[in-house]
Amino acid sequence: SEWDESLAERVALEGVYDKEYFGRLSDEVFREMALAPEFEQPAGAAEPDQAAEPAAADGKLNALFFNHSSALGGAERSLVELVRELSSDYNTRCTVVLPSAGLLELELQKAGAQTMIAPISWWCALSQEELARNPANLALTSAWMQQNLPMLKELNPDLVLTNTMVLPWGAIAAFLLDKPHLWLVNEFGSLDHGLLFQLGLEKSLKFIAHSSERVLTRSKAIQKALFPGLTAPKVETVYRYIPPPTAEELIPDPDAPGFRNPQAFKLLLSGTISEAKGQEEAVRALKILLDRGLGPLELLMPGNTHAEFKAYLVELISSLGLESFARILPFQQRIAALTKQADAILVCSRMEAFGRVCLEAMQLQKPVIATASGGNLEMIQDGETGLLYPIGDIPALADRIERLMKDPGLRARLGESGFRFVSTEFSEEAFGGRISEIMRALPERKIAWNAELDEALEALTGREFTNLARRAIAVNKALKKPPEIR
C-alpha cells in the first residue's frame, strides 16, 4: 500500500536507531538521552541470552516486561525494585526488553532479570516535528517484532507487562503471543510532560484500556485523570515501594558537587532541568527571600537537562544576581547524600505523577514543600507531612520556605510525620506482593481484537504488520476452539 511504501522509504536506516530521536526521552523526568553519553555494555553485564528459556513447570511464573528507557529514572528504579521482589520473593522469572544497554540493564540483572535489547520505539513525542519523524521508528520496531516473534514464542511468557504509557509494544506482543497483558501507567503523559501521541491522547488511552486485562496506575491522580470511566478490578492504583537508602548511598561522593555554605539554609530541587519541573519558580522564590533580607540561602538543582530551558535558567539566575546562591548540577547518582545535607526539599512540578522525591525526602525525615497537584496530594497532608503551595504562586512558595527557615520545630515535626507516613503506607508487600497477586490471578487471554484496536495498529505500523497480527490472532483463536466431532 502507499502507506507501507512510505514507511519502507522512511525506515531506510539499515536496521539502526534514528539517533536524532530514538530513545532520547525517559519516563518521570523525560530527560534528553541525546545529551547524555551513550552507554557501552556495562562491565560485568551478561550477554543477552540467545536461546530463550521455556516456561517453567515448577510453579514459577514467566513474565515478559517491555520498558521504554535504559536510564535510571523514577519508573526504572521502581521496575528494578519490582523485579527484585518478584524474583526473590514471588517465584517469578522476569525478562525485560530494553531499548539499549545502560545502567538499568546491569541493575535489572543484579535484581534477577534476564534482559533483551531491541529497537523499542515510542508512540509519542515532545513536538509535532518529532511526531512526523516517528513512523520510521515505529516501522523499525514492528519489523523487529515480526522477525523475532519465533523467539518471543519460544520464551513462552505466562503474561506480558508494559512499564509505561509511552509505548504500545507490550500490548501488541501479548496479542501476537495470545497472553494476558498488564499495563503499568506511571505518568500523565500530556499533563505532566506535554507529550503528543501518534494516535492522539484519547485514542491512546482507549488502546491501553482495550488491550489490557488490567491497568495499574502509580497514583490515584493518574487513575482519576486518565481512566475515569474504568472501575475495579479493571483499573487499580498500586503505590510503588522505595527502598530506604543504604549507608553507602548516604556518603557523599568526594568528587561530586554539593552544598558550599555550611551556614546557609539549604534547599534541594532534584529532577530534570525543564519547565515542567518548576526550577524557575524556585529561583524566583529565592530572589524574593533574599530581597526580604533573609539568608544565607543556597539552592541546588541537580538533574539531566533540556538544553533550551537550561540556557534560559542560567540566564535567569544571572539576571537576578543569584550566581552565588543557586546552582544547576549534573544528574547525581547519590541523590540521597545530597538530600541528607539539605534543610528542605522542594517539589515544584506542575503535575507530579507519583511524588517519589517526596517519599525519598520523608525517608530521611526532611520537610517537603510541594505543589498542590497530582500525586503530591496523596503524599502530603498540608501542615502534617509537608507543606503545599498553589502551582505558579511564587510568593506563596517563598512564604513556605520562610516559615521553615524561622521554625526549626516545624521542620522537625514535618520530618517525623513524613517518616511515619512513608514507613507505614508504602511497603514491599503492598507493591511487589500486590502485583504478584494480580499477575497470578489473571485469566487466560480473553481480550477480544476489535475494530478500534485494528484501526489503531494499522495507523501505527502500516497494513503489512497489521495483517500479520490479524493472522496470528486468528490462528490463536482457532487453536483454542475445540475440534468439531463429525
402, with CB counted inside 10 A (0-12, 13-18, 19+), is middle
267 and 300 in contact (C-beta within 8 Å)? yes
Q: Please tell me the predicted confidence (pLDDT) of residue 97.
A: 95
Q: Please tell me the predicted confidence (pLDDT) of residue 151.
A: 92
- Which residue's entry shows cell 523525560? 30
Please give the sequence-ordered ranges of beta strands (E in DSSP) within 178-268, or none if there are none.
181-185, 196-197, 214-217, 235-237, 265-268
278 and 371 in contact (C-beta within 8 Å)? yes
| H-state helical runs in 211-306 | 220-226, 279-291
Q: Please tell me the predicted confidence (pLDDT) of residue 395.
A: 98
- Peptide bond preceding 390: is omega within 30 degrees of 0, i.e. cis? no
The DSSP line for 313-335 is: HHHHHHHTT-TTTEEEE---TTH
Quote the distance between the C-alpha of residue 31 and its chain's center. 11
Alpha-carbon Rg for the chain in angstroms = 23
Q: Where are the domains of the chain?
A: 2-241+430-480, 252-425
194 and 166 in contact (C-beta within 8 Å)? no
pLDDT less than 70: residues of the chain = 1-58, 482-486
What is the architecture, at CATH level 2, of domain 2-241+430-480? 3-Layer(aba) Sandwich (3.40)
Task: Quote the pTM value.
Answer: 0.83
76 and 13 in contact (C-beta within 8 Å)? no
> What is the CA angle 412-416-419, rounded to 5?
140
Q: Please tell me the predicted confidence (pLDDT) of residue 24.
A: 32
Cα-based distances in Å from 115 to 49, 67, 172, 435: 8, 11, 19, 20
Cα-based distances in Å from 469 to 155, 296, 335, 466, 476: 18, 63, 44, 5, 10
- Which residue's entry shows cell 506480558? 160
Q: Please tell me the predicted confidence (pLDDT) of residue 59.
A: 84
- Which residue's entry shows cell 482457532? 478
Using CA atoms, how far apart are residues 366 and 360, in angstroms rounded to an integer? Answer: 9
Q: Please tell me the predicted confidence (pLDDT) of residue 333.
A: 80
- Peptide bond preceding 233: is omega within 30 degrees of 0, i.e. cis? yes
Using CA atoms, how far apart are residues 237 and 11, in angstroms rounded to an integer? Answer: 38
Tell me, what amino acid is at 372? A
160 and 180 in contact (C-beta within 8 Å)? yes
Helix (H, G, I), strand (E, B) or coil at 133: helix
State which fold the 252-425 domain adopts: Rossmann fold (3.40.50)
- Which residue's entry shows cell 511515619? 420
Crossing angle of helices 463-480 and 128-155, in 10° steps, is 30
DSSP class of residue 484? Answer: P
Phi and psi at 12, nearest 5°, equal -75, 65
Q: Please tell me the predicted confidence (pLDDT) of residue 167.
A: 95
C-alpha cell at 171: 500490548
Using CA atoms, how far apart are residues 131 and 70, in angstroms rounded to an integer? Answer: 21
Using CA atoms, how far apart are residues 252 and 278, in angstroms rounded to an integer? Answer: 26
The DSSP H or E segment spanning 115 is strand 114-117
Q: Please tell me the predicted confidence (pLDDT) of residue 28.
A: 28
C-alpha cell at 291: 530581597
Residues 6+ apart with CB under 8 A from 450: 210
Using CA atoms, how far apart are residues 33 and 304, in angstroms rounded to an integer? Answer: 9
